[in-house]
Amino acid sequence: MAERNNNSKPNNKNGEPKDPPNNAEEVPEEESAKKKELEELPPFEVVEGSRIPASSFMFQFKNVEYSSGRNKTLLCYKVERGEDQVFHGYLEDEHVSAHAEEAFFSNVLPQFLSSGAVSVTCYVSSSPCVNCAACIARCLRRNKTLKLRLVVARLFQWEESEIRGALRGITSAGCQLRMMKSADYLYVWQNFVEPDIVLNEEGESEQKSEQGAFIPWEDLDENSRYYEEKLSEILR
């Protein structure tokens, strides 16, 4: 499976930060403040009430065994609170210092946990790493009224003993963990995905694909069953 890379980008090709030259001009205060603000932005993107581009969904959520190039995690969430309060959104990480799961359970979900029971379903492109699993388990233990379902497309480095133990840990904490099936893909497509937009010969935007036309790849069901067997072995 593709590894999650948490290394930030070096400042130059040698990986060493450069000191400013002695005769460097002073950066205007307004520009300096803007630069600082950009540097302090969180290393993940939170998109509320929006949709994932279809091509990104089809690539990142494809349940292949060897996920070469799929080094980004997408998390679609549905939060239900009370009888008529339903919230949708998705997170996408860039693997700098926070993964999408950690960002959701540490920064997004707490705003919905102020009072009463909360039911959360997360559709994630891959299962959590050890640190994200620990974050999920802590959240469940601290919030006894939280009901969580985690539905994942692929198992992340499931051969590793630490990962296997982490997955058992979140289920023992109360998380319902399972693999995505055809019906789950269709649900995410209809509720979280938007058609790709391209320009025609006249330079006008047009849809590349229809919103309702989710076409499963040939081995989707076979791969889903394969991962279900692996997950069942891990959780025994």
Q: Do 185 and 151 meet the contact criterion of CB atoms below 8 Å apart?
A: no
Annotation says 101 is catalytic: yes
Token duo for residue 148: 């969580």
Task: For residues 126 and 133, give the distance between their C-alpha atoms in angstroms, rounded to a whole number.
Answer: 12
CA dist 110 to 54, 57, 107, 136, 215, Å? 29, 26, 6, 12, 36
Q: Do 84 and 225 meet the contact criterion of CB atoms below 8 Å apart?
A: no
Task: For residues 174 and 196, give the distance between their C-alpha atoms in angstroms, rounded to a whole number.
Answer: 37
Token duo for residue 8: 């930030």
Task: For residues 127 and 69, give the distance between their C-alpha atoms in angstroms, rounded to a whole number.
Answer: 16
Of the candidates 83, 101, 228, 229, the residue annotated as catalytic is 101
Task: For residues 35 and 79, give the distance between their C-alpha atoms in angstroms, rounded to a whole number.
Answer: 34
Token duo for residue 220: 């989707």
Token duo for residue 63: 């349940």
Which are the catalytic amino acids?
101
